[in-house]
Amino acid sequence: MPRKRGNSTGSLYKRSTNGCYIASFYDHTGTRVTRSTQTTDRAAAQRILTKQVSEAALRKEGVIDIRIESLAQHAKLPIEMHLTDFEIALRANGVTTRQVDLVCGRLRRVINGCEFKAWGDITASRTMEYLHKLRRLVSETRPGISAQTFNFYLQAVKQFGRWMVKDRRAPDNPLAHLKGLNVRTDRRHDRRALSEQELLGLLNATATGPDRYGMAGAERALLYRLAVETGLQVGELASLTRSSFDLDSQTPSVTVEAAYSKRRRKDHLPLRQALAGRLCQHLDGKGLKAPAFVMSASRTNRSAMFREDREAAGIAHKDEAGRVVDFHALRHTFITNLAKGGVHPKIAQTLARHSTITLTMDRYTHSLAGDELAALEVLPDLDVKPIAAKATGTDCVVVDGVEARSNLRSNRCAKSVISGAASREETERDTQEAASSSALVFRGNTHNNASSETVGVGFEPTVTTSATPVFKTGPFNRSGTPPHLQIVIHRQCPPPAGGTL
């Protein structure tokens, strides 16, 4: 027999004489529940117990939706409880401590600024109003947040909303429809790529420079070269050890563990032979777990180290367009050099380890000075004077009212009207003028009539010559030459000795 779970009305009891009544009953899942009624009055305690037992029965029958009831309870909880659980969930998913602190710090600033006390208080309008308030100019020396920072704050609160829905704490995300600003209208920290001369100057000045923040000049120069030839970020470079490099194979490479990679994957990047040789000398004698570079653990010190080396090389922090040069600019230089060298965009995306080709080509690919001007040289030169059209020597002949055109070049374009009334003298004069060059003979060739007379003008030599046909057209509607005319060129022959034409 199944075990009986007490009576359906529950029970009341006291743990001490002056204590409050304790209600004991079974919930809709059959689990025993013990709760204090917070009263010493038995009648009031009985009413509380009866209500709890009744609600448990309704849940068991499905009259009360458990999920809706749970959502209502979560909506009343203090928002800080949800924020704490959200932070725990991020750390459990493997997000770095720095990223967790950054996201939760932005989230708490918005929550506190909007004075949200519970999840049910969150509205899209109040959130956007507070973010736009942060955009306003605080003072001449302290401007408001940029469009990019605005989007970062908005991204943090929207991420929190998505987690609330996935964790079954909220039915929907009231901030899901909000959109960020166009960051191109308010860029304040755009990076640029270094030119080849700037890069060589930086490496040479660093190699001969003094020690900075515990690193020798030669070691820092090798660090910068590795960054600009692989695109590794400063955090990834700091995580490298001796075992991260494979320098003995035919294709040397460096491996970044997933815990430190920008995309949380284990990455294998190829190395050039010249760089591999320098790394082999640098790493000689180090243990497998020893750091490849003795870098400072402080991000501030790393930035200061590069800034001092950049100033020693005479490279300005900002150019005329306001673009800056910092450590991460070495990664921009790496991707820009790939694009400038004609590397296929898909290969450049793979080496950059980007999820989309748009990120590779738009944000990290920069046009160096003179590249745009050189690209314009492929356009045609419009200062050249137009060349006058040359005569094609097209002859226009009208035979019995039908116009025929030949595409043969000649120094004279004549138009003759052939008729039975033309005089013999005019015909002979035209024949003599044409004798100085190729002679055109137009022979009538009526279809299926081989005995038709020859109609036309031309030079008919007395010496037998061979005819070379130039072209013979097909149907009349596909060419300008009538079908009954055949154009041939006779090679010029000298007139017979002592004879006349």
Q: Which of 152, 185, 218 is the last residue of a domain?
A: 185
- Closest by CA to 21, choosing from 12, 11, 30, 33, is 12
- 369 and 332, same structural domain? yes
Q: Which of 185, 208, 236 is the last residue of a domain?
A: 185
- 213 and 323, same structural domain? yes
Asked if residue 436 is part of any domain, the answer here is yes
154-182 pLDDT, tens per residue? Answer: 999 999 999 999 998 988 899 999 999 98
- 429 and 281, same structural domain? no
Asked if residue 69 is part of any domain, the answer here is no
Asked if residue 458 is part of any domain, the answer here is yes
**Residue 459 predicted with pLDDT over 80:** no
- 324 and 220, same structural domain? yes
Task: Give the pLDDT of residue 452.
Answer: 41
CATH number at residue 126: 1.10.150.130
Asked if residue 202 is part of any domain, the answer here is yes
- 345 and 261, same structural domain? yes
- Closest by CA to 460, choosing from 430, 481, 483, 416, is 430
Q: Which of 163, 185, 207 is the last residue of a domain?
A: 185
pTM attached to this predicted model: 0.55
Asked if residue 408 is part of any domain, the answer here is yes
Number of domain units in the chain:
4
Q: Report phi then psi at 254, rounded to 5.
A: -130, 140
- 346 and 209, same structural domain? yes
Asked if residue 329 is part of any domain, the answer here is yes
467-490 pLDDT, tens per residue? Answer: 555 544 555 455 555 555 555 555
Partners of 416 in beta bridges: 397
Where is pLDDT greater, at 489 or 141?
A: 141
- Closest by CA to 242, choosing from 276, 295, 289, 285, is 289
**Residue 457 predicted with pLDDT over 80:** no
Q: Out of 184-193, 278-287, 354-363, 443-452, which region has the weakest mean confidence (pLDDT)?
A: 443-452
**Is residue 326 within 8 Å of residue 191, measured between CB atoms?**
yes
Task: Give the pLDDT of residue 108.
Answer: 95
- 201 and 325, same structural domain? yes
Asked if residue 1 is part of any domain, the answer here is no
- 310 and 404, same structural domain? no
Q: Report phi then psi at 362, rounded to 5.
A: -90, -55
- 345 and 228, same structural domain? yes
Mean pLDDT, residues 101-128:
93
**Residue 357 predicted with pLDDT over 80:** no
**Is residue 224 within 8 Å of residue 330, measured between CB atoms?**
yes
- 327 and 200, same structural domain? yes
- 157 and 39, same structural domain? no
- 304 and 423, same structural domain? no
Asked if residue 257 is part of any domain, the answer here is yes
Range of the domain at 290: 196-374
Where is pLDDT greater, at 58 or 84?
A: 84
